[in-house]
Amino acid sequence: MTGEAVPGPDGRLRCPWGLSTEDYVTYHDEEWGRPVHGDDALFERLCLEAFQSGLSWITILRRREGFRRAFAGFEIASVARFDEADRERLLADEGIIRNRAKIDATMANAKALAEWAPGELDGLIWSYAPDPASRPAPLTTADVPAVTAESAALSKALKKRGLRFIGPTTAYALMQACGLVDDHLKNCVSRGAR
């Protein structure tokens, strides 16, 4: 069977993708699937998942510090004040993905979120976390979905509240990355490390 947990250099079993590069080993072991809370922290993940759309996650991961510098640490209040000069600066910034639609969506999303009450983004996103008992641990990567009913509902709720560039697949990637679901394989050392 392919896509099963595989041993890493230390002999511990991991999700296969988590061993493909050194950057992924660290991300897999220390971050992916761990609970993320806080409006700004979730805004960062939401933005990075949107920028990842159509690209490899490693491309985003390797530019994350550039994104953080370019987008004021993903502080919602700061990004909400970005103007046309900031937009032009971002379009010229080689440290990020210079996609006009994604940059515009990030700026628009910050402006929308700046109107929300503190903790509202965190509360809304986490309200879509499924009951862990309802989800069996995936045995192989083929058992990991790209979209779920919860991610479709989360995407719809965020769009209804004015956010852009957040479809059901992006919403599910956000749910995986931020620990709303645990999609580490059943035999992976990081399974349940929440």
Catalytic residue (choose from 17, 24, 32, 49): 49
3-class secondary structure, 10: coil
> 127-163 burial string, b = 16+ CB within 10 Å, else e?
ebeeeeeeeeebebeeebeeebebbbebbebbeeeeb
Percentage of the chain with pLDDT > 90? 96
pTM of the model: 0.95
Q: Answer for the pair 71, 104: CB distance below 8 angstroms, yes or no.
A: no
Q: Give me the half-sphere count of Cα atoms (radius 13 Å) on the Cβ side of residue 161.
A: 20
Confidence (pLDDT) at 192? 86
In which element (H, E) is residue 177 found? helix 168-177
Beta bridge partners of 7: 13
pLDDT tens-place string over residues 141-175: 999 999 999 999 999 999 999 999 999 999 999 99
36 within 8 A of 177, measured Cβ to Cβ:
yes
Nearest to 15 by CA among 60, 57, 64: 57
Instruction: Say which of 17, 24, 27, 128 is annotated catalytic.
Output: 27
Contacts of 163 (CB under 8 A, 6+ apart): 46, 109, 112, 113
Query: Is-catalytic flag, 49?
Result: yes
Cα separations in angstroms, 83 against 88, 111, 113, 151: 9, 11, 16, 31
pLDDT value of position 193: 76
**Catalytic status, residue 17:** no
pLDDT digits (tens, 9 = 90+) for 52-111: 999 999 999 999 999 999 999 999 999 999 999 999 999 999 999 999 999 999 999 999
Instruction: Decide if 24 is catalytic.
Output: no
Q: Would you say 41 and 76 are in contact if contact means Cβ atoms under 8 Å apart?
A: no
Is residue 57 within 8 Å of 140, Cβ to Cβ? Answer: no
